[in-house]
């Protein structure tokens, strides 16, 4: 079992999970493999359901099923199951594990895989309207499911796409980790938000909407290259309405969220090609002052000594220029730009 360890004297945590080192990678194949519709060896592919732990939720033609050990549901649209090599596991935490001075405790929590399509080589940028809004609904449902669990204090929902972005499987999937601790990054943000009179996200949203950093906008969401960008082509997506968690999303918000996410991914594909990327939801349940945001970051630059030492990132593409590429107003080769030595 893994272990959650606290920093010597700061409210920061790491997870020691040696079992995860054993997880296989399916990146050994050629680039062509990732374009196939089905891979016999891929545990996430439709038809290979027996190769994963039994599902926690299966979505099929608008219906939701809980899977069972005996019968694996086939021909699904989305499928969720526990990670076979979890960073955290659901064994109950010891009593009083939030106690002060406790520096390590068993890695209680949940680690789930959300398979976004039964088709091996499918890209989110190519999802239909129904598929993309269906995926947003799955995100919402799974976040709600874990946020309601006892002792869960934070639900991390993210996607790693490509090996350099941390994915060990080529098949399109997202992951969710439900944690018994509150991450320091959000603690810091929340403290700063509580010191402001008005929600700083609502304020920055107004500003970015009217700036040269705006990339896409629909009736409910805005996507822009943030003024403070840690890396080349970082993008933030914010709901126009002040809303703190996917769990609070009305059904009318799900499609516009998926639509704008898909638009950003299509822009990435056009400008940067098939580059690895991550996206992460920043959201808090039962915390109405927080403003949900989704951040995307292509893996172009790596955090090196300076970044690790200072927490200050050197970005070689200004967000203004990144936005102009992603909007399609700039036809120079963007990748060259991003590859420049720091």
Residues 33, 39 contacting (CB under 8 angstroms): yes
- 13 Cα distance to chain centroid: 19
Closest distance of CB 44 from Zn ion, Å: 5
Cα dihedral: 20, 23, 26, 27 (round 10): 40
- Interaction pattern, residues 167-186, with Zn ion; x per rule: CB under 5 A: ----x---------------
Q: Given candidates 72, 123, 291, 295, which one binds Zn ion under the rule CB under 5 A? A: 291
DSSP 96-126: TTT-TT--EEE-BSEEEEEE--SSTT--GGG
Closest distance of CB 138 from Zn ion, Å: 17
Which residue's structure tokens are 């990435």?
Answer: 268
Q: What is the DSSP letter of 62?
A: T
Specify the stretch interacting with Zn ion by CB under 5 A; choose among 10-18, 76-84, 97-105, 116-124. Answer: 116-124
Closest distance of CB 162 from Zn ion, Å: 15
Applying CB under 5 A, does 242 fall inside the site for Zn ion? yes
Applying CB under 5 A, does 42 fall inside the site for Zn ion? yes
Choose among 284, 317, 283: nearest CA to 298.
Answer: 317
Cβ proximity to Zn ion, 120 vs 142, nearer residue: 120
Q: What is the DSSP letter of 325?
A: H
Q: Give the span between the Cα atoms of 139 and 135, in whole angstroms.
A: 6
Cβ proximity to Zn ion, 72 vs 291, nearer residue: 291
Largest CA distance in the chain: 59
How many residues contact Zn ion, by CB under 5 A?
11
DSSP SS3 for 268: helix
Closest distance of CB 309 from Zn ion, Å: 33
Specify the stretch interacting with Zn ion by CB under 5 A; choose among 89-97, 115-123, 160-168, 276-284. Answer: 115-123
- Interaction pattern, residues 75-114, with Zn ion; x per rule: CB under 5 A: ----------------------------------------
- Interaction pattern, residues 188-217, with Zn ion; x per rule: CB under 5 A: -----------x-xx---------------
And the tokens for 43? Answer: 């545990």
Q: Give the span between the Cα atoms of 161 and 116, in whole angstroms.
A: 12
Query: What is the number of other CB atoms lying within 10 angstroms of the CB of residue 313?
Result: 15
Which residue's structure tokens are 């996607």?
Answer: 159
Cβ proximity to Zn ion, 188 vs 270, nearer residue: 188
Applying CB under 5 A, does 159 fall inside the site for Zn ion? no
Closest distance of CB 56 from Zn ion, Å: 19
- Interaction pattern, residues 256-285, with Zn ion; x per rule: CB under 5 A: ------------------------------
Applying CB under 5 A, does 45 fall inside the site for Zn ion? yes
- 285 Cα distance to chain centroid: 16
Specify the stretch interacting with Zn ion by CB under 5 A; choose among 127-135, 210-218, 239-247, 271-279. Answer: 239-247
Specify the stretch interacting with Zn ion by CB under 5 A; choose among 88-96, 106-114, 120-128, 177-185. Answer: 120-128
Residues 279, 294 contacting (CB under 8 angstroms): yes
The H-or-E segment that residue 179 falls in is strand 173-179
Specify the stretch interacting with Zn ion by CB under 5 A; choose among 15-23, 108-116, 117-125, 145-153. Answer: 117-125
Q: Give the span between the Cα atoms of 154 and 326, in whole angstroms.
A: 32
Which chain residues interact with Zn ion by CB under 5 A?
A: 39, 42, 44-45, 120, 171, 199, 201-202, 242, 291
């Amino acid at each position: 079992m893994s272990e959650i360890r606290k920093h010597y004297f700061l409210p920061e945590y790491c997870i020691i999970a040696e079992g995860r080192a054993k997880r296989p990678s399916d990146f050994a194949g050629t680039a062509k493999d990732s374009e196939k519709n089905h891979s016999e060896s891929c545990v996430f592919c439709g038809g290979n359901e027996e190769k994963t732990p039994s599902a926690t939720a299966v979505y099929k033609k608008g219906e939701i099923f809980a899977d069972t050990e005996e019968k694996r549901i086939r021909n699904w649209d989305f499928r969720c199951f526990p990670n076979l090599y979890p960073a955290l596991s659901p064994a109950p935490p010891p009593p009083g594990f939030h106690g002060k001075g406790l520096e390590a405790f068993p890695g209680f929590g949940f680690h789930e895989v959300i398979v976004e399509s039964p088709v091996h080589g499918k890209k989110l940028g190519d999802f239909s309207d129904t598929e993309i809004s269906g995926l947003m609904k799955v995100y919402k449902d799974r976040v709600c499911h874990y946020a309601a669990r006892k002792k869960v204090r934070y639900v991390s929902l993210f996607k790693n796409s490509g090996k350099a972005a941390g994915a060990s499987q080529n098949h399109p999937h997202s992951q969710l980790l439900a944690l018994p601790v509150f991450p320091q990054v959000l603690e810091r943000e929340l403290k700063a938000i509580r010191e402001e009179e008005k929600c700083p996200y609502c304020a920055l949203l107004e500003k970015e909407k009217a700036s040269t950093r705006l990339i896409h906008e629909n009736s409910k969401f805005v996507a822009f290259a943030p003024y403070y960008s840690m890396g080349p082509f970082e993008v933030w997506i914010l709901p126009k309405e002040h809303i703190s968690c996917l769990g609070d999303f009305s059904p009318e918000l799900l499609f516009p969220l998926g639509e704008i996410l898909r638009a950003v991914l299509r822009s990435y594909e056009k400008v940067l090609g098939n580059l690895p990327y991550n996206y992460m939801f920043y959201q808090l349940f039962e915390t109405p002052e927080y403003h949900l945001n989704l951040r995307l970051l292509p893996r172009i630059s790596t955090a090196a000594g300076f970044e690790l030492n200072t927490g200050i990132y050197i970005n070689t593409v200004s967000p203004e220029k990144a936005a102009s590429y992603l909007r399609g107003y700039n036809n120079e080769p963007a990748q060259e730009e991003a590859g420049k030595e720091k």
